[in-house]
Amino acid sequence: MDTTNLILPTYRNMLQTLAGLLDKARRQVPDQAESLLSARLSADMLPLAAQVRFAVFQAQEAVFRLRGEPVPEWLHAIAAEGRNAGETPGSMANAMKRIEGALAFLADVSDHALDAGAGLSIAIELPGGITFDMTGEQYVRDWALPQFYFHVITAYGILRNQGLEIGKADYVPHMFAYLRPGTMPVA
C-alpha cells in the first residue's frame, strides 16, 4: 500500500482547507472571530478550538504510528489542549499556528516513509480502557482518515452554523487543480 502518498496529500489539502476556513472567519466577522473558537454544533460536542487541535493531532499522530514510533509528549499535549478547549479555547492566531506547524511537520516526511507502516500492528487506546487492535492499513482506512475528516468537517459545520458564508468550494478548494478548462459555469 502506498500509504504515504494516500494520507500526506489528504492531510495537507484538508489542513490548508481548515486554515482557509479560519482565515475566512477572520475576514468575514473580525469582531467575532475569537468567540467562534468556543462555538459548538451542540452542547455535548467539543468547540471549534478542539476540532482544530484534534485535526492537527490526528494528522501528525498517524505519521508516528505508521513509522512504528511512539507518539511524542508534545503531540499528546495538543490532544490535551483539545480536550480542554471548552475552558481554554486559545486564539485564532494560535489555531493558525497549530495548523502551520502541522503542515511544516508533514512537509518534512519523506516519500514512502510511511508505506511499511501498512503492515504494522497498531493499538489505539482510548480513555475508559477501550482499545482497538488493527493493522496499519486498517488504521489508515478505518481510524486515521475518518477521525481526521470528522474534525475538519465538524469545524466547517460549526463555522457554517455560526453564519459564515462558506460552501462546498471552501471545503474542497484543492479540487480546482483538476478542473477541466471551460467547464466552470459562468454566473
Tell me the per-residue pLDDT of 74-102, one tens digit each, with 9 for 90 and over.
Answer: 999 999 999 998 889 999 999 999 999 99
H helix intervals, the chain: 3-28, 33-36, 48-66, 73-83, 92-107, 136-139, 145-161, 168-171
Residue 158: name the closest of 3, 20, 21, 10 by CA.
Answer: 21
CATH code, 3-178: 1.20.120.450
Confidence (pLDDT) at 187: 76
Residue 170 φ/ψ, nearest 5 degrees? -75, -25
Q: Residue 1: is its pLDDT beyond 70?
A: no
C-beta of residue 141 within 8 angstroms of C-beta of residue 10: no
Global pTM reads 0.94
Question: Could you give the percent of the chain with pLDDT greater than 90?
Answer: 93
Residue 148: its pLDDT value, please? 98
pLDDT at 70 over 70: yes
The residue extents of the domains of the chain are 3-178
pLDDT tens per residue, range 129-173: 999 999 999 999 999 999 999 999 999 999 999 999 999 999 999
